[in-house]
Chain A
Amino acid sequence: MNFDPRYSGRNFSSVGTRPIRPDGVDKVTGRARYGADFNMAGQLVGRVLRSPHAHAVIKSIDTSKAEKLAGVKAVITAKDLPDLTDGDAAMYDILDNSMARKKALYDGHAVAAVAAIDARTARQALKLIEIDYEVLPHVTDVDEAAHHHAPLINDQVFTEGLEEKPAKPSNVTKRTQFGHGDVHKGFAEADFIVERSFKTEQTHQGYIEPHACVASVNPDGTAELWVCTQGHFVYRQHCAQLLGLEASKLRVTSSEIGGGFGGKTHVWAEPVALALSRKAGRPVKLVMTRDEVFRASGPTSATSIDVKIGARKDGTITAAEATLRYSCGPYAGSWAEIGAMTAFACYKLENVKTVGYEVLVNRPKTAAYRAPSAPMAAFAVESAVDELAKELGMDAVDFRIKNAAQEGTRSSYGPVYGPIGIGPTLEAVKSHPHMKAPLKANQGRGMACGFWFNFGGQTCTDLNIGMDGTVSLAVGTVDVGGSRASLSLVAAEELGIDYSNVKAIVADTSSLGYNDMTDGSRGTFSSSMATISAARNAIKILKDRAAQMWDIPVEDVTWEKGHAIAKGEKYGNLSPLSLKDIAAKSGTTGGPIAGHSELVADGAGVSFATHICDIEVDPETGATRVIRYTVVQDAGKAVHPTYVEGQYQGGAAQGIGWALNEEYIYGKDGRLQNAGFLDYRIPVCSDLPMIDTQILEIPNPNHPYGVRGVGETSIVPPLAAIANAVSNAVGVRMTHIPMSPPRILAALEAEREG
């Protein structure tokens, strides 16, 4: 029987309830084991030596003194990680980023590493490694890097996507374009046009748990890796390829995760830990310091975006255009491309054109950060949309409602939408009490919309029924936002048993088939689909066993509310058999009962949100305070509503930090000035108001329960919503994120001086 993923419109008994989280007790008692909590007998301490230069040729490395230090068991450089990438450019970049091969490309780039008997010896050993650098000119700003006079980060890079292959190398790796219609014609039809340029600074995901792993490579070619990750199967693939191991012989176990938000979708120091272990012949534990996390993991892009939008007097947008430049760090990426795809995704547009440029800079390699690239594009577009509404004399919400995409709209990035939530979230915002809350002096209200694709992908799940009738569910998507709770609810729903009888775990890479990582808000979407499929397979076996127990044909058995029922009047005397009854007899009816599933979860429904925000600005200092904040988002179906609300609030909280204070600050020397939580200012609790949420449920037709991903969209609107609120509070359009007090005060002073 093939699995039918279509939405069935059933009534739910478990899905939609709010049981306590299964990982809660472990986490509040400190028992939960995070990356750094795993230890092995004989393990060594690994530490990484990092470049102090933003851009430098590594002329030579002398590790001899470090090797002679008592207690040092291994010292490695790029030579210990030979290039096995076989022409795979993306893998080569990962290798080079793990350990610089010829040039150090950013402040913090790994250049050597040691494994020693203790941290102090390891630290001393790092000081004994002598490196001869030839310092090169560097560039950290996205606009400066895109300029043709900028220092070249990689002279083998020629811009892709141009009509003619360029003659000269460039820091711009790729140009991409999306859209349809004719924007020139569209702008000619417009009565009002807004055209503006925006900048956003680089931010970090700010997860509290630093990257941490224990690597153990055995002489027989087997290896184990315990690691904090969003995707242990992907880590296995990458590490195996870089180290020359067979994937099946590298067993990767994911720990509890203290936040990832996209930053743990990528290997950083894990190949280094494995290489150290291989050389030392002992397990190696490698834990990044906070300074290393900021300098050498993967923050999001800094951006520079130009937007032009035109509309007729009646409020119809006639054309929309954006040029987006995103920093990638020193390696090619597709960040501007994603920004160019998402920029106008909320709107129904006849004429739209977006162009993205990927720009290399001497900063750490850009990684995904929650709906990567979308928040910056939304900031630019939603700021311009707000300004255009003002010029038209239309209400900001009404203007968006008039132009919102709907079912059947051809999106700005190509596909035609199915049933979507942008219109409903706008209508919900229009009637939300927040919109009527009174504002005092120096306070402003802003709103903005956001879009995210959501992903599905490869998924493999096992569901095992114990002889006592309880169910263990083994999934391969790391639980970053409550998926163990939601998947247990889904298993309970499908089997018709109580949630308390299901226990979900994240299995290691040797226990399940390949799973894509937990990104693209896919964890609950894809693994719930696989869980439903696995449960349905288990139900098939349960019905079989019931038929055996009753000695009737299996065709006469149905499954209802956790019980096998014998259909038809002739079986009137047979009382239903519960899952527990059947499981108890499994030893004599054919052995263990399990359901397995492997699938590619297609049809992740796109997601939309609209946020409202009230901000108070101190006009004398530029200080801001978030007074009220409301998130309205389509969840498709909220499996565990408390977790969904948590995702909505979490995205808003991160967006507030990004909008107001968070930024990577580089000195003229190309060194990161604020690699710590003191001066990289994520919000503290007292910075945030209660973030109100409203869940809309517009079922995803491609999921049996209507589920859509919910994790990422919530960070897309905040930059714009807050910028609109600040701009409304102070009467000056803010175009540079973060809107830190010095930037707001400077904008106000400039306005006062006219």
Chain B
Amino acid sequence: MHERDGHYNQTLYNGRSDYDHQGETMRYIRPLSIEDAVGELAKAVGPAAILAGGSDLLVRMKGGFIEPELIVDIKAIGGLADIAETADGFRIGAAVPCAVLGENKALKQAWPGVVEAANLIGSKQVQGRCTITGNLCNASPAADSVPALVAAAAQAVVAGPSGKRTIAVETVPTGPGRTSLAKGEMIEAILLDKRPEHAGDAYLRFIPRTEMDIAVVSAGVNLTLDEKGAIKTARVALGAAAPTVLLVEEAGQVLIGSKLDEETLERLAKICSGACRPIDDKRGTIEFRRKVAGVLAQRAATTAYKRAGGK
């Protein structure tokens, strides 16, 4: 593991024979505790970056978009590479690769939508490195795992110079590439609740290809049903539809009490299309994103409903 990370570090300036090593301009550290990591981040003078999987960071460094002076590799911090099943649910360490989520049977059974979202990021190789915490902190409105986490009402445990706090994941990104984390703060884990009976979640994204792409628009839906199969609670989140992932509370409201009849689905699509504040860009048009946000919300709701045992 250590050797491999050393290789990543070298890739920056020394991966090719024609690159001279210029180590003194960038400091790479691998702390063993959260306190050390937070301490180093807090006292960093220049730009600092956290390295877990590196699937965003290294690409951006190689492209010359950022030149951090400090890189804090968090993979050696105890517990950060683990998924723990607790009395309250699941605690997913900040350095757990997405592929590991897909191999955790209990998590997959409880939160299939979150896991399928995490396992759509990049390619198989990327999934072996990337993390949902990194996906969240990269703060892209198109991040695949974030709408699923928001729909799941996931929480983030934030460690900082003044201690720890737990916040809703949707409060982390504040705009493309920006987060609410203060200097010296980092997320150490994502928390997911224990599932009641008759619960299901689902995530769908639209990409023009079959894989290795970024969501043009996406939807995450999380439902619980009552004894009769009617929807008891519902959360709907949309990705790539606004500067941050959107929690569409009205869309959740419209589902409650229903059994996903045609009319409810129509209303769901309309609300989701209306809630979008998308842009025209290289990946899609405003009209396209609006329309497809509604379609994906319908389809994700249908899958979540089936997973919850609804008929």
In the complex, what distance in Å separates the CA atom of A456 from the CA atom of B281? 44
- What is the CB-to-nearest-CB distance from A276 to chain B, in angstroms, rounded to a whole number? 14
Chain A stretch 92-130: residues in CB contact (< 8 A) with chain B: 117-121, 123
Chain B stretch 255-311: residues in CB contact (< 8 A) with chain A: 281-285, 287-288, 291-292, 295
Chain B residues whose CB sits within 8 angstroms of the CB of A123 once the complex forms: 64
Chain A stretch 230-278: residues in CB contact (< 8 A) with chain B: none
Residue B16 is within 8 A (CB to CB) of chain A in the complex: yes
A623 touches B208 (CB 8 A): yes
Describe A's contact surface by its main secondary structure: loop
In the complex, what distance in Å separates the CA atom of A687 from the CA atom of B210? 6
Chain B stretch 1-36: residues in CB contact (< 8 A) with chain A: 13, 16-20, 22
B284 touches A742 (CB 8 A): yes
Can you name 15 extra interface pairs (CB under 8 A) apart from A621-B292, A622-B288?
Answer: A45-B19, A120-B20, A291-B63, A621-B206, A621-B295, A623-B206, A623-B208, A673-B282, A679-B214, A679-B282, A683-B209, A741-B284, A742-B284, A742-B285, A745-B288
Residue A164 is within 8 A (CB to CB) of chain B in the complex: no
A-B contact pairs, 24 of them (CB 8 A): A39-B17, A117-B20, A118-B13, A119-B19, A120-B19, A120-B20, A620-B292, A620-B295, A660-B208, A661-B208, A661-B209, A673-B281, A674-B282, A681-B208, A684-B210, A687-B209, A687-B210, A741-B284, A741-B292, A742-B284, A742-B287, A745-B288, A745-B292, A749-B287
- Ranked 10 nearest A-B pairs via Cβ: A118-B20, A742-B288, A686-B210, A673-B282, A665-B282, A620-B295, A674-B282, A742-B285, A661-B208, A119-B19
In the complex, what distance in Å separates the CA atom of A21 from the CA atom of B291? 49
Residue B226 is within 8 A (CB to CB) of chain A in the complex: no
| Most A-side CB within 10 Å, residue of B208, B211, B216, B288 | B208
In the complex, what distance in Å separates the CA atom of A627 from the CA atom of B136? 36
**Residue from A620, A621, A684 in contact with B212 in the complex, judged by beta carbons closer than 8 Å:** A684
Q: Which of chain B's residues has its CB closest to A683's CB?
A: B209
In the complex, what distance in Å separates the CA atom of A746 from the CA atom of B64? 37
Residue A740 is within 8 A (CB to CB) of chain B in the complex: yes
In the complex, what distance in Å separates the CA atom of A123 from the CA atom of B19? 11
Chain A residues whose CB sits within 8 angstroms of the CB of B216 once the complex forms: 741
B213 touches A681 (CB 8 A): yes
- What is the CB-to-nearest-CB distance from B194 to chain A, in angstroms, rounded to a whole number? 35
B18 touches A45 (CB 8 A): yes
The proximity string for B residues 23-66 relative to A, scoring 1 for CB distances below 8 Å and 0 otherwise, is 00000000000000000000000000000000000000001100
In the complex, what distance in Å separates the CA atom of A742 from the CA atom of B113? 26
The proximity string for A residues 276-287 relative to B, scoring 1 for CB distances below 8 Å and 0 otherwise, is 000000000100
A120 touches B18 (CB 8 A): no
Q: Which of chain A's residues has its CB closest to B280's CB?
A: A742
Chain A residues whose CB sits within 8 angstroms of the CB of B211 once the complex forms: 684, 686
In the complex, what distance in Å separates the CA atom of A374 from the CA atom of B17? 42
B291 touches A749 (CB 8 A): yes
A118 touches B210 (CB 8 A): no
Residue A678 is within 8 A (CB to CB) of chain B in the complex: yes
In the complex, what distance in Å separates the CA atom of A118 from the CA atom of B13? 9
What bracket does the count of chain A residues touching chain B fall in? Answer: 20 to 34
In the complex, what distance in Å separates the CA atom of A621 from the CA atom of B297? 12
When A622-B288, A745-B288 are in contact, do A678 and B16 touch as well, CB less than 8 Å? no
Q: Which of chain A's residues has its CB closest to B298's CB?
A: A620
In the complex, what distance in Å separates the CA atom of A686 from the CA atom of B209? 8
A120 touches B13 (CB 8 A): yes
- What is the CB-to-nearest-CB distance from A302 to chain B, in angstroms, rounded to a whole number? 16
B283 touches A679 (CB 8 A): yes
The proximity string for B residues 171-194 relative to A, scoring 1 for CB distances below 8 Å and 0 otherwise, is 000000000000000000000000
Chain A stretch 409-440: residues in CB contact (< 8 A) with chain B: none
Residue A43 is within 8 A (CB to CB) of chain B in the complex: yes
B19 touches A118 (CB 8 A): yes
Chain A residues whose CB sits within 8 angstroms of the CB of B208 once the complex forms: 623, 660-661, 681, 740-741
B282 touches A118 (CB 8 A): no
- What is the CB-to-nearest-CB distance from A269 to chain B, in angstroms, rounded to a whole number? 16
In the complex, what distance in Å separates the CA atom of A138 from the CA atom of B157? 50
Task: Give A contacts to B, CB under 8 Å.
Answer: 39, 43, 45, 117-121, 123, 285, 291, 620-623, 660-661, 665, 673-674, 678-679, 681, 683-684, 686-687, 740-742, 745-746, 749
Chain B residues whose CB sits within 8 angstroms of the CB of A119 once the complex forms: 13, 16, 18-19
Chain A residues whose CB sits within 8 angstroms of the CB of B288 once the complex forms: 622, 741-742, 745-746
Q: Which of chain B's residues has its CB closest to A745's CB?
A: B288
- What is the CB-to-nearest-CB distance from B97 to chain A, in angstroms, rounded to a whole number? 21
Chain B residues whose CB sits within 8 angstroms of the CB of A39 once the complex forms: 17-18
Chain B stretch 118-145: residues in CB contact (< 8 A) with chain A: none
**Residue from B13, B22, B63, B206 in contact with A741 in the complex, judged by beta carbons closer than 8 Å:** B206
In the complex, what distance in Å separates the CA atom of A752 from the CA atom of B164? 55
Chain A residues whose CB sits within 8 angstroms of the CB of B213 once the complex forms: 678, 681
- What is the CB-to-nearest-CB distance from B64 to chain A, in angstroms, rounded to a whole number? 7
A681 touches B19 (CB 8 A): no
In the complex, what distance in Å separates the CA atom of A117 from the CA atom of B21? 11
- What is the CB-to-nearest-CB distance from A128 to chain B, in angstroms, rounded to a whole number? 15
Chain A residues whose CB sits within 8 angstroms of the CB of B214 once the complex forms: 678-679
In the complex, what distance in Å separates the CA atom of A716 from the CA atom of B288? 30
Chain A residues whose CB sits within 8 angstroms of the CB of B19 once the complex forms: 45, 118-120
Q: Which of chain A's residues has its CB closest to B18's CB?
A: A45
A118 touches B209 (CB 8 A): no
Chain B residues whose CB sits within 8 angstroms of the CB of A118 once the complex forms: 13, 18-20, 22
**Residue from B13, B16, B283, B291 in contact with A745 in the complex, judged by beta carbons closer than 8 Å:** B291
The proximity string for B residues 192-211 relative to A, scoring 1 for CB distances below 8 Å and 0 otherwise, is 00000000000000101111
- What is the CB-to-nearest-CB distance from B301 to chain A, in angstroms, rounded to a whole number? 14
In the complex, what distance in Å separates the CA atom of A117 from the CA atom of B208? 42
Q: Which of chain A's residues has its CB closest to B15's CB?
A: A119
- What is the CB-to-nearest-CB distance from B272 to chain A, in angstroms, rounded to a whole number? 13
Chain B residues whose CB sits within 8 angstroms of the CB of A623 once the complex forms: 206, 208
- What is the CB-to-nearest-CB distance from A738 to chain B, in angstroms, rounded to a whole number? 9
- What is the CB-to-nearest-CB distance from A289 to chain B, in angstroms, rounded to a whole number? 8
| Most B-side CB within 10 Å, residue of A120, A121, A683, A684 | A120
In the complex, what distance in Å separates the CA atom of A575 from the CA atom of B277? 88
Q: Which of chain B's residues has its CB closest to A676's CB?
A: B63
- What is the CB-to-nearest-CB distance from B84 to chain A, in angstroms, rounded to a whole number? 34
| Most B-side CB within 10 Å, residue of A43, A118, A679, A683 | A118
Chain B residues whose CB sits within 8 angstroms of the CB of A622 once the complex forms: 288
Q: Which of chain A's residues has its CB closest to B14's CB?
A: A118
A684 touches B209 (CB 8 A): yes
Chain A residues whose CB sits within 8 angstroms of the CB of B292 once the complex forms: 620-621, 741, 745
In the complex, what distance in Å separates the CA atom of A291 from the CA atom of B213? 17
Q: Which of chain B's residues has its CB closest to A285's CB?
A: B18
The proximity string for B residues 213-250 relative to A, scoring 1 for CB distances below 8 Å and 0 otherwise, is 11010000000000000000000000000000000000
Chain A residues whose CB sits within 8 angstroms of the CB of B64 once the complex forms: 123
Chain B residues whose CB sits within 8 angstroms of the CB of A683 once the complex forms: 209
In the complex, what distance in Å separates the CA atom of A681 from the CA atom of B292? 20
- What is the CB-to-nearest-CB distance from B111 to chain A, in angstroms, rounded to a whole number? 25
In the complex, what distance in Å separates the CA atom of A665 from the CA atom of B20? 36
Chain B residues whose CB sits within 8 angstroms of the CB of A673 once the complex forms: 281-282
Chain B residues whose CB sits within 8 angstroms of the CB of A43 once the complex forms: 18
In the complex, what distance in Å separates the CA atom of A626 from the CA atom of B283? 21
Q: Which of chain A's residues has its CB closest to B288's CB?
A: A742
Q: Which of chain B's residues has its CB closest to A661's CB?
A: B208
Q: Which of chain B's residues has its CB closest to A290's CB?
A: B63
Chain B residues whose CB sits within 8 angstroms of the CB of A674 once the complex forms: 282
In the complex, what distance in Å separates the CA atom of A681 from the CA atom of B208? 8
- What is the CB-to-nearest-CB distance from A691 to chain B, in angstroms, rounded to a whole number? 16
- What is the CB-to-nearest-CB distance from B47 to chain A, in angstroms, rounded to a whole number? 16
| Most A-side CB within 10 Å, residue of B213, B214, B282 | B282
Q: Which of chain A's residues has its CB closest to B208's CB?
A: A661
Q: Which of chain B's residues has its CB closest to A43's CB?
A: B18
Chain A residues whose CB sits within 8 angstroms of the CB of B210 once the complex forms: 684, 686-687
- What is the CB-to-nearest-CB distance from A676 to chain B, in angstroms, rounded to a whole number? 9
- What is the CB-to-nearest-CB distance from A586 to chain B, in angstroms, rounded to a whole number? 43
Chain A residues whose CB sits within 8 angstroms of the CB of B16 once the complex forms: 119
- What is the CB-to-nearest-CB distance from B213 to chain A, in angstroms, rounded to a whole number? 7
